[in-house]
Structure 1
């Protein structure tokens, strides 16, 4: 790089962002016009005049319609992988090639031809210098957010792949009509398109920041301005995802595992008229209907619903648990047969239910009383009564009031309880 080029670059950086010499503020239109002309003069000694400049908004679908046939389409990449384009029609491309190969311009433009990779490599330096100068000129303005940070990435000779390369969003498009030469002997055009919502918030430099840094400290006004700028950039750079839900289908896992390309899912006929706009966590924002805009799918909001605001009170929040409704269900014993061998009723003392063992007669559940055990442990049985006894059988019961007494010498004979009825 020669001394003259170094001096020119330093001068451009020193003058970046300053108002024009006539006192008018530096706008994006003025910055683009000056960059295109100044870089051509510095690099190729080529006088360039901007005959007209126009700004417009285009969608991705409309962008190829603004390109002239056989244009060299330079793909430019900006902050956060944002992409844009610079299109050079055949007339402009031929001028840039001629001044680099022959050193001057022919009187007439050559026939239009399809651009090649060599053509793209010969204009890369010029395009990057123009983009750099635009960024330096707008570094202290809001326009640097969408205009700054772009550089050459690749090229196309056909506009059809643009729909796959660029993001589906709105684009800010500048169309310039240029005159080349001292008397504008040759004319051409230039198209520059970048995303409308730029991503170069970090590129902006606050006015007076350079002077404050050189002095070693910043004034309170500068610090406050920088704080507001950082807050604004943080808020504006935040993303908000909104989903347009046409319909939701619930399917069992067995059917989901059978999904294949070409399988149709059931959708109600009124789903096109009843779309739902949802935010994070399926929060319902508004209702909409499906339509189209300039050949692209679009939704029209038909209703806006206010968010429900819950007022916090001083009382502690109590989690209420609602029990599930009780259902008795079917009895587990339904249909079972009764056991035919079930013991009889218990209303009689001689019922076999008390002692189903064979040979157990009389007292059933009391078991058998052998002669050796006697009735010593029965205590006072005065209230039993009703024993049908033979003569002398209960003569020695003594302390069993109501049953007669037994003498001390007599032993208790075997107890016969044949009839307790």
Structure 2
């Protein structure tokens, strides 16, 4: 029988054979991984993948993942839209075999010389990795693993195998390791590592209690805002100098400041509004500021009574006194 006749006969048999009932041809995750690798090799590079043996390992984080896949010749991250990220890797022999098959049409004998993967290597292997993920998803359609495989695609970048453990996202992974032969001669190891769990989809969370009053949410929001860090600066005074004067400064020089600077220290954000004014001094042996006036931007109940510096000093709370070495301004009343 001629080859066209054989093809026609096979086509007629496929058309007349009834489709299997749903679930009768269920494929396990491991079997699907092996079949996907065989499909990817044939479709992307015309490679015959044989003698496949798959093992599954679950690891708790990135360091263990690096220990298992650290001997790979090529490691490609595979991000998903939900921010999960998996990793596909080929041994040095698998990398050189795919490159040789793609460029020359045949795989040389032996194991191939180990070398660092280049950008050209990544481009030549991209089709194989892409077809593998597509085939694995197709084989797992309508199974409980369909959602677990959804969305992953090879990225346009590589990860150096020696730093893999420190570069990957530190989450638990499930690693499928396949030992196989390419074209019956080249020993190849292929790794497919995906996070064990996927992030919960938006809107899939259990509904929360919506009976809370709007006022309760407002209070919680206000409390969260008020706990935010606030960075303030205390400015003793501001001087207007020429650039030439500043250029002539030297260690030990004196920079005169007005005597009123002690009682007019401003507190606020850089290039922002003034929050309060204060007087410079010390309390309990450390430098301190005694607040004189609070800005009207604060809540009314938090606004302090405005006091002039001499009146504020007369209160002397907690032993507050002028900073040593700086004379207090004389009381105009004396």
Normalised by the length of structure 2, the TM-score is 0.52
Unaligned runs of 5+ in 1: 1-10, 12-16, 203-232, 239-252, 259-421
Aligned residue number for residue 188 of structure 2: 188
Q: Does structure 1 retain, via aligned residues, the 8 Å contact 2:41–2:47? A: yes
Query: Could you say which residue in structure 2 is the equivalent of 1:157?
Result: 160
Q: Which deviations, in whole Å up to 9, do the C-alpha atoms of 1:53-72 show, x marking residues without a partner?
A: 01111121211100243521
Contact 1:145 1:199 in 2 (8 A): no
1:146 alignment partner, SS class = helix
- Structure 2 residues not aligned, in runs of 5+: 1-13, 15-19, 209-228, 234-334
Checking the alignment, whether the CA contact within 8 Å between 2:111 and 2:187 is kept in structure 1 is: no
2:92 and 2:207 map into 1 onto residues whose CA distance is 38
CA shift in 2, pair 1:50/1:144, >3 Å = farther
Instruction: State how far apart, in whole Å, the 2-side matches of 1:201 and 1:50 are.
Output: 39
CA deviation string 1:226-255 (max 9, x = no partner)? xxxxxxx924899xxxxxxxxxxxxxx99x
Question: What corresponds to 1:135 in structure 2?
Answer: 137
- Please state how far the C-alpha of 1:77 moved relative to its aligned partner: 0.8
Deviations 1:287-338 (A, max 9, x none): xxxxxxxxxxxxxxxxxxxxxxxxxxxxxxxxxxxxxxxxxxxxxxxxxxxx
Which deviations, in whole Å up to 9, do the C-alpha atoms of 1:1-37 show, x marking residues without a partner? xxxxxxxxxx9xxxxx9879xx452111111111110
Highest Rg: 1 or 2?
A: 1
2:27 alignment counterpart: 26
Is the contact between residue 140 and residue 146 of structure 2 (CA under 8 Å) also seen in structure 1?
Answer: yes
Q: Secondary structure at the match of 1:79?
A: coil
Query: Once the 2 structures are TM-superposed, how far is the Cα of residue 129 of structure 1 from its aligned partner?
Result: 1.0
Pair 1:179–1:158, CA change in 2 (3 A): closer
Whole-angstrom CA distance in 2 between matches of 1:27 and 1:72: 27
Report which of the two has the higher share of helix. Answer: 2
Question: Residues of 2 paired with 1:237 and 1:104: CA distance?
Answer: 58
Instruction: For residue 144 of structure 2, give the secondary structure of its aligned residue in structure 1.
Output: coil
Moved over 4 A (4+): 17-20, 199-202, 235-238
Query: How has the CA–CA distance of structure 1 residues 70 and 94 changed in structure 2, closer, same or farther, with 3 Å as cutoff?
Result: same
Deviations 1:43-99 (A, max 9, x none): 322210243101111121211100243521111111312111111110110110111
Residue 45 (1) aligns with residue 46 (2): yes
The secondary structure found in structure 2 opposite 1:234 is: coil
Distance change (3 Å), C-alpha of 1:200 and 1:149? farther
Count matched residues.
195
Contact kept in structure 2, 1:74 and 1:87, CA below 8 Å:
yes
Contact 2:69 2:161 in 1 (8 A): no
Match of 1:78 among 77, 80, 88: 80
Q: Distance in 2 between matches of 1:97 and 1:35?
A: 19
- Is the contact between residue 116 and residue 157 of structure 1 (CA under 8 Å) also seen in structure 2? no
Q: 1:177 to 1:19 in 2, by over 3 A?
A: farther
Q: Taking structure 1 as reference, are residues 196 and 105 closer, same or farther at Cα in structure 2, changes over 3 Å only?
A: same
Partner secondary structure for residue 81 of structure 1: coil
Q: Which residue of 2 aligns with 1:100?
A: 102
- Superposed displacement of residue 144, structure 1: 1.8
What SS is found at the alignment partner of 1:109?
A: coil
Seen in structure 2, the aligned counterparts of structure 1 residues 88 and 156 have a Cα distance that, compared at 3 Å, is same
* Cα distance in 1 between the residues matched to 2:151 and 2:29: 15
Q: Is the 8 A contact 1:73 1:159 kept in 2?
A: no
Instruction: Flag the 1:168–1:157 CA change in 2: closer, same or farther, 3 A.
Output: closer
Deviation at 1:136, TM superposition (A): 1.6
Q: 1:90 maps to what in 2?
A: 92
| Alpha-carbon offset, residue 147 of structure 1 | 1.7
